[in-house]
Amino acid sequence: MSNPQSTKQVFRRFSVYLKEFKLAFFVAVLGMIGYSCIDVSFISNLDSVIDRSLVNGDYDYLRLAAFFVVPIFIMRGLFNFMGAYTLAWIGNMVVMRIRQQLFSRYVHLPVSFHDQHSTGTLISKVTYDTEQVAHAASKALLTLIREGALVIGLLTMMFYKSWQLSVVFLLLGPIVAVIVSIVSKRFRSVSKNIQKSMGNLTTSVEEILKGHKVVLMFDGQEKEENRFEHKNNHNRQQHMKLVVSKILSVSTIQVIASVALAVVLFIASMPEMVENLTAGVFTTIVVSMTMLLKPLKQLTTVNSEFQKGMAACESIFDVLDQAIEPNNGRVKPERVNGHLAFENVDFAYKPGEPVLKEVSFTAEAGKTIALVGRSGSGKSTISNLLTRFYSPQSGKVVIDGQNIEDIELRALRKQFALVSQHVTLFNDTIANNIAYGIEEKVTPKDIEEAARVAHVLEFAKQLPEGLDTIVGENGLMLSGGQRQRIAIARAVLKNAPILILDEATSALDTESERFIQEALDELQKDRTSIVVAHRLSTIENADEILLIERGEIKERGRHQALLEKDGMYAQLHKMQFSEGS
Q: What is the pLDDT of residues 50-87, one digit of tens each?
A: 776 666 666 676 677 677 778 888 888 899 898 888 88
Q: What percent of the chain has pLDDT over 90?
A: 11
Residue with the bigger pLDDT between 47 and 15: it is 15
Res 314 pLDDT > 90: no
User: Crossing angle of helices 59-108/279-320, nearest 10°?
Assistant: 10
Burial class (CB in 10 A: 0-12, 13-18, 19+), 45: middle
Three-state secondary structure string covering 208-258: HHHCHHHHHHCCCHHHHHHHHHHHHHHHHHHHHHHHHHHHHHHHHHHHHHH
Res 228 pLDDT > 60: yes
404 pLDDT band (50/70/90 cuts)?
very high
Res 274 pLDDT > 60: no
Give me the DSSP letters along 454-471: TT-HHHHTTSTTGGG-B-
Kindly state the average pLDDT of the residues 504-533: 73
Q: What pLDDT shows up at residue 2?
A: 47
Kindly state the average pLDDT of the residues 466-489: 83
120 vs 128: CA distance, rounded Å: 11
Res 142 pLDDT > 60: yes
For 170, 236, 536, 547, the CA distances from 577, given in Å and listed in that order, are 90, 56, 9, 17
Kindly state the average pLDDT of the residues 95-100: 88
**Three-state DSSP class for 167?**
coil
Kindly state the average pLDDT of the residues 92-112: 88
Cα 110 to chain centroid distance, Å, stands at 15
Kindly state the average pLDDT of the residues 309-338: 88
52 vs 274: CA distance, rounded Å: 18
Kindly state the average pLDDT of the residues 352-372: 90
230 vs 215: CA distance, rounded Å: 18
Res 245 pLDDT > 60: yes
Kindly state the average pLDDT of the residues 137-150: 78
Kindly state the average pLDDT of the residues 524-534: 85
Q: What pLDDT shows up at residue 360?
A: 92
Q: What is the CATH number of domain 7-320?
A: 1.20.1560.10
Q: Would you list the domain boundaries of the chain? A: 7-320, 421-495
Res 32 pLDDT > 90: no
Res 394 pLDDT > 70: yes
Q: What pLDDT shows up at residue 399?
A: 94
Residue with the bigger pLDDT between 377 and 272: it is 377
Across the chain, what does the average pLDDT equal? 81
Sheet of 528-532, strands arranged across: 416-420, 498-502, 528-532, 368-372, 544-549, 552-557
Q: Are 257 and 296 in contact (CB under 8 A)?
A: yes
256 pLDDT band (50/70/90 cuts)?
confident
Q: Are 105 and 316 in contact (CB under 8 A)?
A: no
Q: Are 287 and 53 in contact (CB under 8 A)?
A: no
**Three-state DSSP class for 392?**
coil
Kindly state the average pLDDT of the residues 101-126: 86
21 pLDDT band (50/70/90 cuts)?
confident
User: Crossing angle of helices 59-108/22-44, nearest 10°?
Assistant: 150
176 pLDDT band (50/70/90 cuts)?
low
Q: What pLDDT shows up at residue 497?
A: 92
343 pLDDT band (50/70/90 cuts)?
very high
447 half-sphere exposure, CB direction, 13 A CA radius: 21
Q: Are 302 and 246 in contact (CB under 8 A)?
A: no
- On whether the pTM is more than 0.75, the answer is no
Query: Which of 277-281, 475-479, 519-523 has the lowest average pLDDT?
Result: 277-281
Q: What percent of the chain has pLDDT over 70?
A: 84
- 421-495 CATH fold: Rossmann fold (3.40.50)
Cα 355 to chain centroid distance, Å, stands at 31
Residue with the bigger pLDDT between 34 and 504: it is 34
Q: What pLDDT shows up at residue 200?
A: 77
362 vs 382: CA distance, rounded Å: 13
436 pLDDT band (50/70/90 cuts)?
confident
578 pLDDT band (50/70/90 cuts)?
low
- Calculate the dihedral angle through the C-alpha atoms of 159, 165, 168, 169, rounding to the nearest 10 degrees: -30
Kindly state the average pLDDT of the residues 112-134: 83
